[in-house]
Copies of this chain bind each other. A is one copy, B any other.
Amino acid sequence: MDNIDYAELYRTDLLNNVIPFWLKNSGDKEFGGYLTCLDRQGKVYDTDKFIWLQCRQVWCFSMLYNKVEKNEQWLDFAIHGAEFLKKHGRDPEGNWYFSLTREGQPLVQPYNIFSDCFAAMGFGQLYQATGNREYGAIALQTFQNILSRQDNPKGKYSKAYPDTRPLQSFSMPMILCNLVLEIEHLLDPATVKSTIEKGIHAVMDVFYQPQYGLILEHVTPSGEFSDSFEGRLINPGHGLEAMWFIMELAVRTDDKALINKAKDISLNILEYGWDNEHDGIFYFRDIKGYPPQQLEWDQKLWWVHVEALVCMLKGYFLTGDERCWKWFEKIHRYTWDRFPDKEYGEWFGYLNRQGEVLLPLKGGKWKGCFHIPRSLFQCWKTLEGIAEKSINQQVN
C-alpha cells in the first residue's frame, strides 16, 4: 500500500464520514450550540453542554474552513456554536464554566482551566475565519486570563492542602505549546516567543525524564520526581500528542536537534505504552509498575491512537526515521480495524483492553468533534507532504 492511498483514506473519512456526522446530528436548532452526547446512530441521548466540546467543535469547523475549503456551511456551523458560547459560556469574571444545561444555564463551575484553553482556540480560529473582532477579543481576553491563572488553575476548587505536596502538571505547558500557535495572529511576537520558549523548556527539560525516556504527568515545583500516585503517572497518549506539538514548534526555527529529540521520545513512549498482549496503547501506567489509581488504565481510547498516528507521521516526515513509519502502519492497522463504525459512521471512542467496544457512544462528556477530525486532517496533510517529498527525491 503506498502513501497516496493512506492520504486519500484519511481525507475521505474526514470529509465524507466524520464531518457530515456532526453536521447532521449535533446542531441544536432550538437553543443554539451543539448536542454532543450522541449514541451509536447519532441520536441525542443527553443534552448537557460541556464547554470543552462546544469550543472544540467551533475550533474544528473554523479550522476546516480556514485550511481545507471556504465552505459556508462549515463557517455557519462554527458561528452557531460560538454565538451560544458567547452568550452563556462565561462567568462575570470571564472564566469559562465547565458545563451548561441545554438552555445555557451554568451547571458546573469554572474549575477547569482547559475549558478556557479550548475557548481561546475556538474563538481564535473563528476570528481568523471571519475577521470578526469580537471573536478575536474573546480569544485574547481568555488567553490572558489563562496566563494569569496558570500557576493556580483550579483556584478555590482545588482540594489539595496547600504546600504539603505541591506538584506542577504537564497538561498546562503542553496545551500552551499548541494554543500559542493557534492564536499567534492575536499575540505580539514577544509573547509568542516567550510562551514557546517556556513551553518547550517545561515539556523537554522538566517533565521529560531522560533516565526513563518518558514524560511524567506531575513533578515537584523544582522539577523532581514525586514518588506518589500522581508523580508516578504516565499517560502515553498525552506524551505522544505533546511530541507532535513540539515538532511543530521546532519546525519554525528549523531546530533539527529538537525535532529528533521529540521523535526519539515518542518512539520510547510507544515502546513503553504498547500492550504487547492485546495490542493498542494503554491509557495509563505507573512508572514504577505499581497499580495505578485509574481503573480505566488498560482501556484503548480513540484520542490516544489518533494522536499517536499524527505523531508518527510527523516524525517520519520530518526525520525520515523508518521506525516511525513502521509504528504508523502498526497503529494504523490496529486503529482502523477497531475504532471506525462501519455501520453507522463516525468512530467509537472507548475500547476495552481486548479491543472490543466498551461504550458505543459517538459523543459524550469527553468525546466530541475534535481529536478524530483534527487527526484525520493532520494525517492527510502530512501524508501528502511525505508523498511530495518522495516525488521530489525521485526527481532529484
Contacts and interface: CB of A to CB of B under 8 A. Distances in A.
Interface of A: 39, 45-46, 48, 97-98, 101, 105-109, 111, 156-157, 159-161, 164-165, 228-229, 288, 290-293, 295-299, 350, 352-354, 358-361, 364-365
B365 A109 contact: no
A291 B45 contact: yes
A45 to B, nearest CB: 4
Contact of A46 (B48, B228, B361, B365): B228
Count this chain's copies in the assembly: 2
B157 A229 contact: no
Contacts of A156: 156
A105 to B, nearest CB: 5
5 contacts: A105-B161, A109-B161, A295-B299, A295-B359, A298-B358
A109 B159 contact: yes
Nearest to A165: B107
Contacts of A298: 352, 358
Contact of A107 (B97, B160, B361): B160
A185 to B, nearest CB: 33
A105 B228 CA distance: 14
Given A111-B159, A157-B157, A229-B48, A364 B164 contact: no
B98 A159 contact: yes
B160 A159 contact: no
Contacts of A107: 160-161, 164-165
Contact of A229 (B111, B160, B352, B365): B365
A96 to B, nearest CB: 13
A291 B109 contact: no
A361 B291 contact: yes
Given A106-B161, A159-B111, A295 B295 contact: yes
